[in-house]
Structure 1
Amino acid sequence: MKLQLAMAVTGLTLALSAALSGHAQEPAKPAVAVAQPVVLKAAHLFDGRSGRMTSPGLVVVQGERIVAIGASSPLPANARVIDLGEATLLPGFIDAHTHIASDHDDNWAQGFYDNMLRFPVEQSFHAARNAKVTLDAGFTTVREVGAPDFVDVALRNAINGGLVEGPRMLVAGHAIGSTGGHCDSSPFPPERVKPAGPLEGVCNGAEQCRLATREQMKFGADVIKICASGGVLSEADPVDVPQLTPAELEAIITEAHTWGRKVAAHSHGDLAAKLAVEAGVDSIEHGSFLTTPTLQLMKQKGTYLVPTRMTQVWVLDKADTYPPKIGAKARAAGAAHQKMFKEALRVGVLIALGTDAAVYPHGLNAREFGDMVDLGMSPAASLMTSSQGSAKLLGVDAETGTLEVGKLADVVAVPGNVLENIRATERPSLVMKQGKVIRGGE
Structure 2
Amino acid sequence: MDEWEELAWRVPETLMLVSCEMEATRLIEVAHSNLQVRGTLFRRIHLGMPAAIAMNLFGDPAAEGVIPTEILEEARREISQSGARHGKTRHVFARYVVAHLGVQQDDPAYRSWEVHHQDAIRFTDKALEKVSEAASHAEAAKDAVDIAETLLSQPQPPLQLWAEWTSAAEKLVDQAALEATLALDEVLRARQSVALEFFDAVAILRRGRAPPAAVDKWWQEIERTLPGAFLLVATGGLKALRLIRDAHGKLQERVAMLRVNLRQETPAAAVPVEGNSAYQLDPEGICPTVALEDARREISQSTVLHAKTRHVLARYVAHLGAQQDDPAYRSWDVHHQEAVDHISKALKRVIDTVSNAEAGKVALVIMGSVAYGCPLWDVWASEAEKFTAVAALEATMATNEMRCAQEAVAQELSDAWTILLSRRRN
Q: TM-score, normalised by structure 2?
A: 0.21
Structure 1 or 2: larger helix share? Answer: 2
Structure in which a larger fraction of residues adopt strand? 1
TM-score normalised by length of structure 1: 0.21
